[in-house]
Amino acid sequence: MTKRDNNTTYLKSWYSVDFKVQTTDEKHKHFTKDKIIKIMSTLKINKVINKWFFLYEGNRFDVRMSTISKAKKSKDKLEEALIKEAKNYPSLGLEINTLSDYKERNDLFPDETILEIFANIMNEITKAYILKKNYYTDFNNFRLMERIAHCMFLTFCYTDITTTKNEKYFLMQRLAERMGIPFDDKFDEDNCYDNISFKKYWAQTGYY
């Protein structure tokens, strides 16, 4: 049984596995991704899993998947099927770690309900990616991501946060966090953020 702690949120019936890529070659990375999609699609067709999504970070594909049943035998069946399918592609040199319960830090996802919503959204995003990859549809990646982020802001923030914290302000704070400079980490609060270094940085860009 997975050891639980107070800093982690777990999602029942969801599991995680990382596929490590043995080379940084771009062609090999895309080839690996295609095979992982085939593996996961086979598991879904065979009703071993019902939802899944992936993220590519560093030299690995992080895959998260759910089973219909919550019984322990479903996890064992999933692990057995996953290893069996991966063995069909020995030339990939895939290194698969042990299947584990899907978890995230609870400062990012405070409870199981929110984590499940996130996982379901990522499942749909993975569907969209595969549909585009297989030429069933076509869309502009930037525009779709922009629309999703824009509509999320309108739902979460537009009526609940002061008008001084508009969408442009949110995007600037997001970029500041990513760049490692001071940012408004209490964005949800009705505060008046006034950080000199933040203003000075953005004044140089001409956008503040």
Q: How far is C-alpha 40 from the chain's CA centre?
A: 16
Give pTM, 2 decimals.
Answer: 0.84
**Domain ranges (residues) in the chain:** 8-133, 154-205
**Cα Rg, the chain, nearest whole Å:** 20
Local confidence pLDDT in tens for the 208 residues of the chain: 344 567 899 999 999 998 877 777 788 788 889 999 999 999 999 999 999 999 998 788 899 999 987 767 788 899 889 888 888 887 666 666 678 999 999 999 999 999 999 999 999 999 999 999 999 999 999 999 999 999 998 888 866 655 567 888 888 888 888 888 877 777 777 665 555 455 655 666 655 5
Please tell me the distance from the alpha carbon of residue 167 to that of residue 187, in angstroms, as a whole number.
Answer: 12
Please tell me the distance from the alpha carbon of residue 124 to that of residue 44, in angstroms, as a whole number.
Answer: 14
Cα 131 to Cα 36, 45, 124, 138, 166: the distances in Å are 15, 16, 11, 8, 34
Query: Does CATH number 1.10.3720.10 belong to domain 8-133?
Result: no
DSSP characters over 127-175: HHHHHHHTTS----HHHHHHHHHHHHHHHHTTTTS-TTS-HHHHHHHHH
